[in-house]
Amino acid sequence: MSRLDNLEYLASADPAGMGEWVAGLPEQCEEAFRLGQEAPLPEAAGVRQVVVVGMGGSAIGADLLRGYVEGEMAIPFLVSRTYHLPAFVSRETLVIASSYSGNTEETLSAYGEARERGARMFAIASGGELERRAQADGVPFCRIPGGYSPRAALGYSFVPLLAVLSRLGLIRDRAEDLAEAVKVMRELRAELGQGTPAADNPAKQLAERLYGKLPFIYGAAPWSSAVAYRWKGQVNENAKNLSHSNILPELNHNETVGWEFPERLTAQIEVVLLRDREDHPKVQRRFEVTSTIMRPHVSGITEVWSRGHSILARLFSLIYHGDFTSYYLALLNGVDPTPVKVIDYLKGELAKV
Ligand code: F6R
């Protein structure tokens, strides 16, 4: 029997309940959509660009959103992950500050610059300094529930922004697509959840293949690339495991050449390909040819196919698979998936400066 089938072990190795948070993503998305529908709106007439400022688990929600709406939004959408804003940000830019804790210094710095430049603004947080400033400045604010690890609150960092962009008329309404995404995740939960034995559970099986290996996660432009980056981050933070992600077709123009050396390391790479039936036909072909080139060098290759009809459902199906896989990998690594002591240490050190 796999260690992952011992439910007592799962409970004792995960005292903060990351497994419950992972499993609860569909319900979180429903609640998050409601919050986004009720949030006060910024003035959007004449907006010429959208910039989301945020870091880590809060920024990835914006990355996913950016990739998802790229084919529809008529104005540029940028995710900025640092202290300063790009020079183009002006009164005609909508700046959305997203920080789960509300206390991330890079995000607060960018928020301050956006205010100075007179940008239209919107803020989202579970509280903290960002909420305090937004309330004091009269910036439209969406409060999301506290008590999660930021990365476990992905639904809260992504879905309210989706609802807000629709309500501002920048993208079409997504209520139906979100309902489908929730349905698809609920169906997947029966397959990927803790109670389903490894023999029938693709996420447990994939975690076992990744155990002791270097996971390389490959997605494709425009949206599964962001999902691949989410997988990498979840493997890093939940499983405390190094990981790497990259994008097709771009990686065919550089990384493909690098699989030969160092041989001791390439033999430890376990590749995960995030596949979607609507990827560009040439990208589908690239996945196949790329697998043939990689196979002799790497430990193994697993394809994970998206499920569902709408892009939103397909996107969430891949996220959900990665969240479960990284959680199971944490338990195989024998680490508590929730704490990220190194990030806490870094934030503490930087706060002293
Ligand atoms: C921790 C995590 C981190 C944080 C990041 C920014 O679970 O995922 O990547 O998200 O340090 O903090 P917040 O989200 O509070 O602005």
Residue 345 lies in a domain: no
Q: Which of 140, 173, 206 is the last residue of a domain?
A: 173
Helices marked H in the chain — which ranges?
7-13, 18-23, 25-38, 56-69, 105-116, 128-137, 154-167, 175-192, 202-210, 224-239, 263-266, 281-294, 311-333, 341-352
pLDDT, tens only, 166-215: 999 999 999 999 999 999 999 999 999 999 999 999 999 999 999 999 99
Residue 339 lies in a domain: no
Residue 344 lies in a domain: no
Q: What does DSSP say about strands 93-99 and 49-53: parallel, antiparallel, or unpaired?
A: parallel
Cβ(294)–Cβ(259) under 8 Å?
yes
The verdict on whether 105 is a catalytic residue reads: no
Residue 23 has pLDDT above 90, yes or no: yes
Containing structural domain, residue 260 = 3-13+186-332
Q: Which of 173, 201, 235 is the last residue of a domain?
A: 173
Same domain, 25 and 156: yes
pLDDT confidence bin for 107, thresholds 50/70/90:
very high
Question: Nearest residue CA, atom 5 of ligand 1?
Answer: 56
Residue 353 has pLDDT above 90, yes or no: no
Same domain, 192 and 327: yes
- CA dist 181 and 19 (Å) reads 20
Residue 34 lies in a domain: yes
pLDDT confidence bin for 1, thresholds 50/70/90:
confident
Same domain, 101 and 165: yes
**CA 179 to ligand 1 centroid distance, Å:** 27
CATH code of the domain containing 156: 3.40.50.10490
Residue 337 lies in a domain: no
Same domain, 328 and 211: yes
Average per-residue pLDDT in the chain? 97
Residue 134 lies in a domain: yes
Same domain, 217 and 289: yes
pLDDT at residue 153, as a whole number: 97
Give, to the nearest 10 degrees, the angle between helix 56-69 and helix 154-167. 40
Same domain, 22 and 168: yes
Residue 106 lies in a domain: yes
pLDDT, tens only, 68-104: 999 999 999 999 999 999 999 999 999 999 999 999 9
Same domain, 82 and 217: no
Residue 131 has pLDDT above 80, yes or no: yes
The number of beta carbons lying within 10 Å of the beta carbon of residue 286 is 19
Cβ(248)–Cβ(276) under 8 Å?
no
**CA 148 to ligand 1 centroid distance, Å:** 10
Same domain, 319 and 209: yes
Q: Which of 173, 202, 237 is the last residue of a domain?
A: 173
- CA dist 266 and 108 (Å) reads 40
The verdict on whether 43 is a catalytic residue reads: no
What is this structure's pTM?
0.96
The verdict on whether 347 is a catalytic residue reads: yes
pLDDT, tens only, 239-248: 999 999 999 9
Question: Which contiguous run of DSSP H or E holds residue 77?
Answer: strand 77-80
What is the percent of the chain where pLDDT is above 90? 96
Same domain, 51 and 169: yes
Half-sphere exposure of 194 (CA within 13 A, CB side): 18
Residue 139 has pLDDT above 80, yes or no: yes
Residue 229 lies in a domain: yes
pLDDT confidence bin for 221, thresholds 50/70/90:
confident
Return the best residue to mutate from 21, 22, 53, 58 for the ligand 1 pocket (most ligand atoms within 8 A of CB). 58
| Shortest-distance atom of ligand 1 to CA 107 | 16
pLDDT at residue 25, as a whole number: 98
pLDDT at residue 351, as a whole number: 87
Same domain, 146 and 26: yes
The total of structural domains in the chain comes to 2
Same domain, 252 and 316: yes
Cβ(16)–Cβ(338) under 8 Å?
yes
- CA dist 270 and 237 (Å) reads 18
CA 338: distance to chain centroid? 16
Same domain, 8 and 128: no
